[in-house]
């Protein structure tokens, strides 16, 4: 079943052409804002346009940026990050967005690997860049903030008039994104203007985003999900983006309440934590719990009516969170557990799921708003084809994609590029899933994470993790295959990070101490309860406790590769968390 096409695409060929067109159409419309020193700082499209033109002139005249040059961009989420991004493209350059959470040496390595000679950065990164300037041969550094050592955005504002945009072609590079790796040959995803604009236009045709919408931004802008969908897509429609001043929970909540967004891009882990906290709070109040159960029953009897009713029933909750105007949440970056999606819907929140990768600009599929089918990640957007490669008897196999959204290749890594493309041009995602008869895609796991039993059965850790995460006593879990050194068999094992607040409450209720033995027994019972319906070969053989969060990517996915080769010995209850992160 294809998407309902809401409107025709606008037909912009490049990102800079799109930006200029929106400025001409909505010059006085608010483009972006952020709270600083207890007041909101705002930019209209015309104000951002003026600065972008001036910054581009400085990049050309003072830093020597020429068409096709790589220019690194590093900084926290803020309007100036977007202005720097657009200015680099305006001057004809290629943006190399760097993860602000990387260490200085990691950033230095990537700058050197990509041959970057020009950098636009937030003030906090200026000292390290100055330290590496001579070693890397950097020709210029432009600071977003006041600096005694470097020219700044405000300096450029007063000294330059601005230039017209450099003419570029849709096939020209727009970004090079480094997804992982800081040694050897890191994977730099090369995305063209055509790749990104095709993705934006595909989403625009099927997702109801309009110029009156307000986005709330918390995910890192250097990541393609937030950059394409949370920064560039609002420009396409003329919407507004409101940035959280930081990732502190109190800051995010206060800024969200002030913003009252209509669209919020987020990731599953954040939604899990929000839902768990809401349910814990409601569990403390008998009246609220009765209200919740009544809403759940209504939503299950009459889904569409139930969701509308739940929005009304839980209006005070929505208002408390600043989400009373929210049209929908967009969950991406990883699979959203079914219990989380259902739980949010039952609380009156609309959730749209998307699926894609950095290599696909990123969106490949999205939930049709008129016909969501949990736990599907939706249907291919216009212009994208999806197929399953070498499906098994259940129709599961590797997901492959084809279309204008697929990357040009990996930077300076022809071997890795060839490995992910078939001879007839299909991109192999590395994800496992299946399609139903209507074209809805379902993700079942990662090809690299699959556990293969001696009998040839495939076990996908994500399926088991999703079930166990329904326990209020489990905060995070990692399921993995471990080879038994005695038998040589692959066993299903797990590391569990408990929800210690809930564990302490349960221990207090039982009148016991929440020591290792109590926690282990409690989690053991929860695992048995929640996985009893799984096939015997999928059940966890052994697990151990871990008393700190797992290391994660910027999109809040656990870094599975750090735990490769781990084995839990018989009788081992607690596993040290001190795993050195090595790329």
Residue 365 — φ and ψ, nearest 5°?
-130, 160
Model confidence, pTM: 0.83
User: Residue 202 to residues 58, 198, 304: CA-CA distances in angstroms?
Assistant: 34, 6, 26
The set of residues, in sequence order, having a beta carbon less than 8 Å from that of 521 and lying 6+ positions away, is none
Domain covering 266-324+326-446 assigned CATH 3.40.720.10 in the classification = no
The set of residues, in sequence order, having a beta carbon less than 8 Å from that of 379 and lying 6+ positions away, is 1, 2, 3, 365, 366, 367, 368, 438, 439, 440, 441
* First vs last C-alpha separation in the chain: 41
15-192 falls under which CATH superfamily? ANL, N-terminal domain (3.40.50.12780)
The set of residues, in sequence order, having a beta carbon less than 8 Å from that of 392 and lying 6+ positions away, is 458
Determine whether 288 is exposed, middle or buried from the number of CB atoms within 10 Å of its CB (0-12, 13-18, 19+): middle
- Rounded to 5°, the CA angle 143-226-345 comes to 145
**What ranges in 62-188 are assigned the alpha helix state H?**
79-90, 104-114, 126-136, 153-159
Measure the CA–CA gap between 335 and 341, rounded to whole angstroms: 10
For the chain, what are the domain ranges?
A: 15-192, 266-324+326-446, 451-563
Residues in a beta bridge with 36: 39
- Rounded to 5°, the CA angle 378-424-201 comes to 40
Q: Which CATH number fits domain 451-563: 3.40.50.620, 3.40.630.30, 3.90.870.10, 3.30.300.30?
A: 3.30.300.30
Residue 279 — φ and ψ, nearest 5°?
-65, -35
Measure the CA–CA gap between 144 and 147, rounded to whole angstroms: 9
Four-CA torsion 314, 316, 321, 326, nearest 10 degrees: 60
Whose CA is closest to 340, among 277, 423, 275, 404?
Answer: 275
Residue 418 — φ and ψ, nearest 5°?
-65, -30
Q: What is the pLDDT along the chain (583 residues), one digit of tens a residue?
A: 578 999 999 999 999 999 999 999 999 999 999 999 889 999 999 999 999 999 999 999 999 999 999 999 999 999 999 999 999 999 999 999 998 888 898 899 999 999 999 999 999 999 999 999 999 999 999 999 987 678 999 999 999 999 999 999 999 999 999 965 444 567 899 999 999 999 999 999 999 999 999 999 999 999 999 999 999 999 999 999 999 999 888 899 999 999 999 999 998 888 988 888 787 777 665 555 555 555 554 544 444 444 555 677 778 888 888 999 999 999 987 778 888 888 888 888 999 999 999 999 999 999 998 888 888 999 999 999 999 999 988 898 999 999 999 999 999 999 999 999 999 999 999 998 999 999 999 988 887 877 877 666 778 888 899 889 989 999 999 999 888 887 777 889 999 999 999 999 999 999 999 999 999 999 999 999 999 988 888 899 999 999 999 988 776 778 888 888 888 988 888 986 433 333 3
DSSP one-letter code for 562: G
Residue with tokens 């429609």: 237
Give residue 168's Cα distance to chain centre. 29
Same CATH topology for 15-192 and 451-563: the answer is no
Contact 132, 138 (CB under 8 A): yes
Measure the CA–CA gap between 335 and 267, rounded to whole angstroms: 9
Asked if omega into 485 is within 30° of 0 (cis), the reply is no
Q: Per-residue DSSP letters for 213-270?
A: -EEEE-S-TTSHHIIIIIIIHHHHHT-EEEE-S-S-HHHHHHHHHHH--SEEEE-HHH
DSSP H or E run through 494:
strand 490-498
């Amino acid at each position: 079943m294809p998407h309902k096409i809401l409107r025709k695409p606008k037909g912009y060929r490049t990102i800079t052409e799109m930006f200029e067109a929106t400025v001409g159409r909505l010059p006085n419309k608010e483009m972006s804002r952020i709270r600083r020193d207890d007041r909101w700082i705002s930019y209209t499209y015309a104000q951002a346009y003026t600065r972008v033109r001036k910054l581009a002139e400085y990049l050309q005249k003072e830093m020597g940026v020429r068409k096709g040059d790589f220019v690194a961009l590093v900084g926290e989420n803020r309007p100036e990050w977007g202005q720097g991004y657009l200015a680099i493209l305006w001057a004809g350059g290629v943006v190399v967005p760097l993860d602000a959470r990387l260490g200085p040496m990691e950033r230095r390595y990537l700058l050197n690997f990509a041959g970057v000679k020009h950098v636009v950065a937030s003030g906090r990164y200026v000292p390290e860049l100055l330290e590496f300037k001579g070693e890397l041969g950097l020709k210029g550094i432009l600071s977003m903030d006041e600096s005694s050592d470097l020219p700044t955005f405000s300096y450029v504002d007063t000294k330059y008039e601005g230039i017209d945009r450099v003419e570029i072609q849709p096939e020209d590079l727009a970004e090079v994104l480094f997804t992982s790796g800081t040694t050897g040959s890191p994977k730099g995803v090369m995305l063209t203007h055509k790749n990104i604009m095709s993705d934006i236009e595909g989403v625009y045709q099927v997702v109801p985003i309009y110029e009156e919408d307000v986005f709330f931004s918390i995910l890192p802008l250097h990541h393609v999900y937030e950059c394409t969908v949370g920064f560039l897509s609002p420009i396409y429609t003329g919407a507004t983006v409101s940035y959280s001043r930081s990732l502190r929970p109190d800051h995010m909540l206060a800024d969200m309440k002030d913003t009252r967004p209509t669209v919020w891009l987020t990731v599953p882990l954040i939604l899990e934590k929000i839902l768990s906290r809401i349910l814990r709070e409601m569990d403390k109040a008998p009246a609220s719990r009765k209200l919740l159960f009544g809403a759940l029953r209504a939503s299950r009897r009459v889904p569409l009516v139930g969701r509308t009713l739940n929005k009304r029933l839980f209006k005070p909750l929505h208002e408390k969170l600043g989400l009373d105007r929210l049209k929908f949440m967009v969950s991406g970056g990883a699979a959203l557990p079914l219990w989380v999606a259902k739980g949010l819907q039952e609380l009156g929140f609309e959730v749209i799921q998307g699926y894609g990768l950095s290599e696909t600009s990123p969106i490949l599929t999205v939930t049709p708003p008129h016909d969501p089918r949990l736990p599907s990640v939706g249907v291919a957007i216009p212009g994208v084809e999806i197929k399953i490669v070498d499906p098994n008897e259940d129709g599961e196999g590797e997901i492959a994609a084809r279309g204008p959204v697929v990357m040009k290749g990996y930077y300076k890594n022809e071997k890795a590029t060839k490995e992910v493309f078939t001879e007839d041009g299909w991109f192999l995602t590395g994800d496992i899933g299946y399609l139903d008869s209507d074209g809805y895609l379902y993700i079942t796991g990662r090809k690299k994470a699959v556990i293969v039993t001696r009998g040839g059965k495939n076990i996908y850790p994500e399926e088991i993790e999703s079930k166990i995460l329904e326990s209020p006593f489990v905060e995070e879990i990692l399921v993995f295959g471990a080879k038994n050194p005695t038998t040589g068999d692959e066993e299903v094992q797990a590391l569990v990070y408990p929800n210690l607040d809930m564990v302490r409450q349960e221990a207090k209720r039982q009148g016991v101490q929440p020591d290792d033995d109590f926690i282990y027994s409690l989690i053991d019972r929860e695992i048995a309860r929640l996985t009893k319906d799984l096939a015997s070969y999928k059940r966890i053989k052994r697990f151990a406790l871990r008393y700190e969060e797992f290391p994660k990517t910027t999109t809040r996915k656990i870094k599975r590769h750090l735990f490769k080769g781990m084995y839990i010995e018989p009788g081992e209850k607690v596993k040290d968390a001190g795993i050195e992160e090595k790329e």
